[in-house]
Structure 1
Amino acid sequence: METTAFFVSIGSLHISLTVMTTWGLLLFLGLGSWLLTRHLSAQTPGLLQTALEGTVQSIQAAIDNVLPGKADLLLPFIGTLWLFIAIANLTGLIPELHSPTADLSTTAALAILVFFSVHWYGIRSSGLMPYLKHYLTPSPILLPFHLLGELSRTIALAMRLFGNIMSLEMAALLVLMVAGLLVPIPVLMLHIVEALVQAYIFGTLALIYIAGGMQSHEINNLPTDNEGDEK
């Protein structure tokens, strides 16, 4: 694949185009965030500040719908995840560039990041022992199935985003090759909409997984069948 072709080679060190594009996106996001937020005003917010505040409030509302009262805690991670993936998905629209998320290594890294975040927020919310205890609920026999579920959903998270973005880029390329410049606008619109949808789905799934980890202590406190019978 072109996305894995070496962009820079220094001796035994090889840096792929995907890595260079990802570094460029990180620099763009970091610098852009600094430039956009260094002149914020509480008295007379401009049009750009209003748009930024509206975006942040929309993300906060989405988080509150899943985990009420936890928006401030999860906004930095979930908001950054949504923003990075959305821009990464749209990078494929730039000539000579490919979306980093069309490379399995990038989506796998994002999925692994979500995997560790689930446990981090879960332990932070419930405590180490109560969090680990939920893997033995309602029976220790289910421990292998809980672990298999953690592994399978991480793999599915990486493969879903990778497959959708890769197929989207291939479909757009094939349509443009066949139709030439007759249908560029509909293809571009489809690419933009699908790229944003896939970013939203990935971020929402990450949020749901984190919510499950943070609410694991509630699973531990559910009454067993015997306790229910006694009551």
Structure 2
Amino acid sequence: MILSPDQMILFVIWGIPINATIFYTWIVMAMLTGVSMLLTRNLRADVPPNRWRTALEVIVQSIQSQIEEIAQGPSRHLLYFAGTLFLFVAVSNLLLVVPGFEPPTSSLSTTTALALSVLVAVPLFGITSRGLGGYLKTYLQPSFIMLPFNIISEASRGISLAIRLYGNIMSGAVIAAILLTVAPFFFPVIMDVLGLLTGMIQAYIFAILATVYISSATKPPHPSTTQKDKS
């Protein structure tokens, strides 16, 4: 039994093997790009809204409200990053019900890449919000003795994100394979429903955790800490 789409070589381009992870990642990105271009081609104030535009606005506003609730303030800069993460993971997991589709999120390489993007985004957003010196000071709080522990904590976040997403998706795939061998005609419907549910939950959790990590790096220092530094 193939546990990871990395093991499935679909074709070779110029001597470079293209596995299922890369191929289906391209499919998801092409779908998201095409749908977004289709829905936003007439997104202007002088064009009356239709049902697709209304549905798009509801989705975007829902994601933005969740982000602002976590960030405790206006955070449109987080909407683009966390919203893209949510849509990519959600669409990848939802397409699991399509026969023959291998979700790229069931590959450890994909989940690791997503976690690394969060790790890179945290200092970038933090430096943009606080400045280089202000962000680096967070590694020395509450004391310089905590520097190695804060660095380890930052790195462990990415590892936990990657393993959590990969483990949940892979556990569902393994359970589905076992149930299909036991009752191949009854359990597929149940597993498809559970796959849709868990796929949306995992996308939501991943985007929320990314928002929490970035928000913690962009929040202004606590007033008591600022006064202590001035004194």
Q: Does TM-score exceed 0.5, indicating one fold?
A: yes
- In 2, distance between residues paired with 1:51 and 1:178? 40
How big is the alpha-carbon RMSD for the aligned residues of Structure 1 and Structure 2? 2.0
One-letter amino acid matched to 1:16: N
* 1:184, distance to aligned residue in structure 2 (A): 3.1
One-letter amino acid matched to 1:15: I
- In 1, distance between residues paired with 2:225 and 2:10? 53
* 1:101, distance to aligned residue in structure 2 (A): 0.6
Instruction: Tell me the residue number matched to 1:6.
Output: 9
Q: 1:38-117 to 2 correspondence within 5 Å? A: 38-40=41-43, 42=45, 44-117=48-121
Instruction: Tell me the residue number matched to 1:173.
Output: 177
Q: 1:187-206 to 2 correspondence within 5 Å? A: 187-206=191-210
Q: Percent identity?
A: 41
Of residues 25, 35, 55, the one that matches 2:28 is 25
- TM-score scaled by structure 2? 0.90
Secondary structure at the aligned position of 1:217 is classed as coil
One-letter amino acid matched to 2:192: L
- In 2, distance between residues paired with 1:202 and 1:76? 15
Give CA-to-partner distance per residue, 1:148-177, whole Å, 9 cap, x none.
101111101000000000111121222223
Which region of structure 1 is more displaced relative to structure 2, 35-44 or 172-181?
35-44
Instruction: Tell me the residue number matched to 1:213.
Output: 217
Contact 1:137–1:220 (8 Å) recurs in 2? no
Instruction: Tell me the residue number matched to 2:38.
Output: 35
One-letter amino acid matched to 1:69: G
* 1:67, distance to aligned residue in structure 2 (A): 1.3
* 1:186, distance to aligned residue in structure 2 (A): 2.3
Contact 1:131–1:217 (8 Å) recurs in 2? no
Secondary structure at the aligned position of 1:117 is classed as helix
Unmatched tracts of structure 2, length 5 or more: none
Instruction: Tell me the residue number matched to 2:168.
Output: 164
How many residues align? The count is 226
Which region of structure 1 is more displaced relative to structure 2, 50-59 or 92-101?
92-101
Instruction: Tell me the residue number matched to 1:183.
Output: 187
Unmatched tracts of structure 1, length 5 or more: none
* 1:86, distance to aligned residue in structure 2 (A): 0.3
Instruction: Tell me the residue number matched to 1:123.
Output: 127
Of residues 142, 149, 157, the one that matches 1:153 is 157
- In 2, distance between residues paired with 1:22 and 1:89? 11
- In 1, distance between residues paired with 2:166 and 2:95? 14
One-letter amino acid matched to 1:6: I
Secondary structure at the aligned position of 1:9 is classed as strand
* 1:93, distance to aligned residue in structure 2 (A): 1.8
- In 2, distance between residues paired with 1:134 and 1:38? 43
- In 2, distance between residues paired with 1:107 and 1:187? 22
